[in-house]
Structure 1
Amino acid sequence: MRIALAFAYDALRVNPIRTGLTALGMVIGTGSVILVSTIALSSREYVLGQIEGVGSNILWVYHEVAPLLASSSSMSDSLKLDDLYAVRENIPNLKAVAATVMGRDSMILDQRKSEVTLIGTNPDFRIIRNLKVLEGRFFDEDDERLRNRVCVVTEGLAAHIFPSGWTDDKKIKIYNVEFIVIGIFREGAETFGQSEISNETAMLPLSVMSFLLGSNTIDQIYASATRASLVPAASLALAEVIRSRHRPSAVYRIQNLTQILAAAGNIATALTMVLLLISAIALLISGIGIMNIMLVTVTERTREIGLRMALGAGRRAVRTQFLTEALVISIIGGLVGIVGGAGLPLLVRFLVEGVRIPISGWSILIAFGVSCLVGVIFGIIPAERASKLNPTEALRYE
């Protein structure tokens, strides 16, 4: 093997440009495998982080009314405050339970009107939806119990209310009632307008919202399980409690993030497979390139092969020599590809503060192993052709 490596080194050193160009395909293929794995892992972590930022272990229920079937009886099946209390009392392993009542109204500020989204809810909603308080505070159980006319607003709405910066005594009018703005909040993760919280939203205690609307009807009940593994059981329990309190024909939808997380995982896996297929094609092409160059090398070195055989080298030694050359090219390309594929994410992590890009150790091992395998497989045909040359005819080759 030492002799084969020496011959391979000498042969590849003679044509460094050819060797480099031949290894380039392997560099691209190996590097792309690592980058694909890195992109897939980063995408998965980002998506899962965004989903979990909306609210960890969250589940919710709402009453579904078909537009053509709406009637007084079906409307009476709407969720009520008593349903919220029943969920709290009868379902274990829930760390927070909240209800929401949605609305829209004109907010009056300094004699100016603007349309805002209104959400009446209780303090647990902040825990369930992972809301971040940026200024002031969120309303608490005392505000809920005493029906205090307080509210918290989103950053987008706060920009209109506090053009000169936050103060704790600003008042706005909603439903012709004055409310004190006690805080500014935002969602735990960007939902791009797909959640119940719009850019300009005011959130107020559920008791106040119900009083202003003159109704104990609620739109949704949200809950958060203590652990992710308990979400399926909690969903079943939630369905049982709600349906036991209403007509059998009433339709209630119970949803959680488990399906969304699974769908996100499936999409990430499918994307990874597609990109890995493209990387595999690049490795295949690089293997074909190695085989072509090695076949050309065998033709160019026919006299050298004949001379080695005439001096006593066996077919096995010749075969090993050319297989070693193909393997060395693959290893060089694979190592350079690994450095590039792993180095680029590391460079991004170094240059961009706060960015975490995971690099899979398995992808590096697999990429290197595949590069070696490609070199051996595509080096077999040239090596066999070289080993089967007739020494006498090879020495006559011009």
Structure 2
Amino acid sequence: MSQNIKPLIELKDLRRSFQSGDLKVEVLKGISLTIEKGEFIAIMGASGSGKSTLMNIIGGLDYLSKGTYHFNGREISQYSEDELAELRRENFGFIFQRYHLLNTLSAEGNVEMPAIYSGMPANLRHQRASELLARLGLSERQDYYPTQLSGGQQQRVSIARALMNGGEIILADEPTGALDSESGKAVLEILKELNEAGHTIIMVTHDPDVASHANRIIEIKDGLIIADTKNQTQESALSAENGLSTLTWKKASGFSQIIQRVSNAFKMAIISMKMQRLRTFLTMLGIIIGIASVVLVIALGRGSTDQIIADIRNMGTNTLTVYPGSGFGDRRSQSIQSLRPSDVDALKELPFIHSVTPVVSTSVEARYGNISAINTQVQGVGTQFFDVQGYDITQGIAFDEVSEATLALEAVVDENTVKTFFPNGENPIGTVIILGQLPVQIVGVATSKSQNMFSSDSMNIWIPYSSAMHRMTGGTSFRNITIRVNDGVEMSLAENSITDTLTDLHGKKDFFIYNADAIKEMVESTTLVMRILITSIALISLLVGGIGVMNIMLVSVAERTKEIGMRMAVGARKSDISQQFLIESVLVCLLGGTIGLLFALFVGFLVQQAGDTIPLSFSIPSIVFSFLAAFFIGILFGYFPAKKAAELAPIEALERS
């Protein structure tokens, strides 16, 4: 080789390290290597030796920490992000052990992916993909989806994808690792054929038999090259004349290319939404709820305000509820057993406490005669529960302190339970029902004062908490403790005092307090500006809708991380990734906004047909304002997850589980 001819790839003292907490892990410790055009190289090494990291750096999927990497004489650090994407798109073709095919696209669609990002016209893409699949023996499988193909067939699709834009350099990471022996041999024959046709092959493997097919074997151990040997292999049985030739074509002009990119991104967004209907629906659910909430809340107006105030007053005032955990979103709260009978005794000693009501809960099968109801909610409560929570005892009596002390088998039921077990209007008082294996006698029927606001078809049965703990759950802790504070006591001061008391008892703050009285105080203190409050609630509902879109879009990004990595590996620019997600967000917002508006109007129609006393008045300005506001909020919250997706490093996205 003449000294004036520069090698295709030249690495000097290449190093790659990762930060793992406070520990710096050096994977590559000084790799120096040159690769000439047309070579067939096998990089061998045990797991963790750094061979895959080296291949990822060569392919522009990962970044070196120190050293130099020249591709065709140009230092890789001089490449911009878009130029690196072009390098992957135009010069490299990746063959992955796990294929990394998109299940939402057919075999032909997966093969066409690199050409979409290179701007190849649709007719040439179809022609090129069909030709490649036919040459690889998949002409009858072009319209099959990856899940309909065998492992060997999926690997052939990934090979065709690697060759779509020419594939001057083929990077194969354990290409036979997930295949049976026959499929593996076929893939190796294809790689040898490609090498004979002029492609440079860089293959990573840990198998010496696989490596023996290459004409140069580089061994890596602990991030260092320990051997670089030539290998004499048998000639391939396939003729180079049958090689997979490249296709030349002329790129569109600048403006036409932009239109083409947007059009292709739009089509891919439609395909993704169509193939992932549930995810699409969940993504738009926040906008649907936000739009519907805004329109309905504004329509309710002053009439609903009066009803809210009345219902809040009927719920019971001056109440605080203590829950285990750090907040309502704490998934560990079910396993935290921090609220115990000793807490109730301590709280009763506080001078500003009117009453304390512990609550334990369980679901059982309830039976009466030949009628049974599964998953019936049984709550063990204190004697003051019904006063604190705003229930009237409409029949019979509530249990008392004697019932608590004697673990009485007595129960108070709600009207839904009465309707279920006594459909013919029998008197439930004195009858015995079976809760799981426990017989209890109904002593009272309770009706919620705020049932118009919190109506439910669920059945509720209350028994003394002592009976529930000792005879049913066997537990020693409460689900929550509800506290009623004496009139005239400042609720914030009471909450702080309760927090200090329980923290001292527990030795830590493993609970949180919900102040139900804050809602009443807020509404009653703003009666003169009630319309402003309603508007604020509407805007909050809309904001919640936007947050819902953001959350599901973030879930979508996490769910599709490997897809993002694959798209980047085949040459997608960061702008291509963000563009596709943004278009998806726009479409989701448009569709979700329309559905939300129609849903709100439909609910209003049903309410009016039912003759509800709460007036609903829909106005064109409020509908337009709500729809546009939700639309732009949805776009905003959808765009940032898309931007986050675009900023992922290709190798990070590909390897993330």
TM-score interval, normalised by the smaller of the two chains: 0.5 to 0.7
Superposition deviation, residue 167 in structure 1:
4.1
AA aligned opposite 2:307: Y
Aligned match for 2:518, one of 249, 253, 259:
259
Aligned match for 1:190, one of 451, 464, 467:
451
Contact 1:77 1:247 in 2 (8 A): no
Contact 1:78 1:219 in 2 (8 A): no
The answer for the alignment partner of 1:217 in structure 2 is: 477
Contact 2:311 2:453 in 1 (8 A): no
The answer for the alignment partner of 1:56 in structure 2 is: 317
Contact 1:59 1:254 in 2 (8 A): yes
Superposition deviation, residue 160 in structure 1:
1.9
Matched, 1:145 2:396: no
Contact 2:321 2:483 in 1 (8 A): yes
Contact 2:357 2:383 in 1 (8 A): yes
Contact 1:152 1:203 in 2 (8 A): yes
Superposition deviation, residue 266 in structure 1:
7.9
Contact 2:357 2:481 in 1 (8 A): yes
Contact 2:309 2:523 in 1 (8 A): yes
- 1:311-350 correspondence runs (5 A): none
Matched, 1:112 2:371: yes
Contact 2:359 2:479 in 1 (8 A): yes
Aligned match for 1:207, one of 466, 477, 496:
466
The answer for the alignment partner of 2:56 in structure 1 is: none
Task: Find the aligned partners of 1:191 and 1:123 in 2 and give their Cα distance.
Answer: 25
Contact 1:80 1:218 in 2 (8 A): yes
Matched, 1:136 2:430: no
Superposition deviation, residue 229 in structure 1:
4.2
The answer for the alignment partner of 1:78 in structure 2 is: 338
Q: Which structure shows the bigger proportion of residues in helix conformation?
A: 1
Contact 2:317 2:517 in 1 (8 A): no
Task: Find the aligned partners of 1:227 and 1:96 in 2 and give their Cα distance.
Answer: 12
SS in 1 for 2:477: coil
The answer for the alignment partner of 1:124 in structure 2 is: 384
Residues 93, 174 of structure 1: alpha-carbon distance in 2 compared, 3 angstrom cutoff: same
Superposition deviation, residue 215 in structure 1:
1.7
Unaligned runs of 5+ in 1: 1-38, 277-354, 356-398
Task: Find the aligned partners of 1:83 and 1:273 in 2 and give their Cα distance.
Answer: 41
Task: Find the aligned partners of 1:243 and 1:106 in 2 and give their Cα distance.
Answer: 37
Task: Find the aligned partners of 1:101 and 1:198 in 2 and give their Cα distance.
Answer: 21
The answer for the alignment partner of 2:216 in structure 1 is: none
AA aligned opposite 2:514: Q
SS in 2 for 1:84: helix
Task: Find the aligned partners of 2:487 and 2:461 in 1 and give their Cα distance.
Answer: 30
Superposition deviation, residue 193 in structure 1:
4.3
AA aligned opposite 1:176: Q
Superposition deviation, residue 268 in structure 1:
6.2
Residues 87, 229 of structure 1: alpha-carbon distance in 2 compared, 3 angstrom cutoff: closer
Task: Find the aligned partners of 1:274 and 1:260 in 2 and give their Cα distance.
Answer: 12
Contact 1:154 1:185 in 2 (8 A): yes
Task: Find the aligned partners of 2:363 and 2:526 in 1 and give their Cα distance.
Answer: 36
Aligned match for 1:227, one of 487, 501, 504:
487
**Residue-pair matches, total:** 237
Residues 275, 232 of structure 1: alpha-carbon distance in 2 compared, 3 angstrom cutoff: closer
AA aligned opposite 1:175: G
Q: Which has the higher contact order (CA 8 A, sep 6+)?
A: 1
Contact 1:44 1:268 in 2 (8 A): no
AA aligned opposite 2:344: L
Aligned match for 1:101, one of 346, 356, 360:
360
Superposition deviation, residue 183 in structure 1:
1.0
SS in 2 for 1:235: helix
AA aligned opposite 2:443: I
- What's the CA shift string for 1:261-320, capped at 9, x where partnerless? 3554588666525999xxxxxxxxxxxxxxxxxxxxxxxxxxxxxxxxxxxxxxxxxxxx
Superposition deviation, residue 88 in structure 1:
0.6
Residues 244, 125 of structure 1: alpha-carbon distance in 2 compared, 3 angstrom cutoff: same
Contact 2:407 2:464 in 1 (8 A): yes
CA-based RMSD: 3.6
Superposition deviation, residue 129 in structure 1:
1.1
Residues 76, 199 of structure 1: alpha-carbon distance in 2 compared, 3 angstrom cutoff: closer
- What's the CA shift string for 1:213-272, capped at 9, x where partnerless? 112210111111121543222111111111111142x43211212432355458866652
The answer for the alignment partner of 2:422 in structure 1 is: 162
Superposition deviation, residue 198 in structure 1:
6.6
SS in 1 for 2:490: helix
Superposition deviation, residue 75 in structure 1:
4.7
Contact 1:93 1:230 in 2 (8 A): no
Percent of matched pairs sharing the same residue: 17
Unaligned runs of 5+ in 2: 1-300, 536-612, 614-657
TM-score (norm 1): 0.53
More moved, 212-221 vs 264-273: 264-273
